[in-house]
Structure 1
Amino acid sequence: MTEAAHRPPASAGLEAALRSLGVADPVPHERWDDNGWVADWGGDVHGHDVYVLLMGAHNHPRGARIMLDDFTFEDVRAEHVEELVRKAFSGDARVTRHRVLLSRRLVLGVRAGSTEYSASVSGDRADDLPAWARPLATS
């Protein structure tokens, strides 16, 4: 599969989400190699500096790994990428606190389609989150 032959559906979903959030230049930068593809975008979303990275394999075109700053979502269905990104950055998601053994985690949960996706980062306070995610923290 070549870059010109087929754009990853997840990358198109990222672009659509960023466009719906009012981003002026929502087109991610896409790179291909023998095993897969990477698409990334960085810029301003609602006054916050944001970085988004998508990764996928040629042999699994309907799924992707999504990184929203430090949050990493594994095996996201390509048709859910647009909704997941839009909800995370528009405030339609929640960050909850969890304790796992001796560590504390902040978990970002986002429902896309009928699936609840989650990703976590170390920490236990809203101040440990990227600025865009702080308003999502629940007590």
Structure 2
Amino acid sequence: MDFESITEFLANKTIFVTGATGFIAKILVEKILRIQPNVNKLYLLVRARDAQAAHVRLQHEVLAKELFKVVREKWGANFESFVSDKITVVAGDTSYENLGLTVDQLKEMHKDIDVVINVAATTKFDER
């Protein structure tokens, strides 16, 4: 697939991304928002105890990063509005059954999601 095909493919799609605060996912989310503002929605799975904690992690560990500078500049004062329209943060954990989500959450997401991108990982640096 060439760049134009990928951009066209992402248009009007709802994408579920696991591991949203990880290195690869940050790059992926930024790239999607930058090249295809017509993406329908990004469900971002963030490991957290609840929705509020997931939202805080997304703000601090993803959206506040220098990586999003170009997207921030492109949208200017509308950046927060654009992001809140495009991103739905989901508190969960890939190590739990059903990602730690409720049946209602799964049903709602299932009817919307077109693409799943799994980039979740657990990284431990052993200083041994």
The higher-RCO structure (CA 8 Å, 6+ apart) is: 2
Task: Output the TM-score relative to the length of structure 2.
Answer: 0.26
Task: Output the TM-score relative to the length of structure 1.
Answer: 0.24
Query: Higher strand share goes to which structure?
Result: 1
Query: Higher helix share goes to which structure?
Result: 2
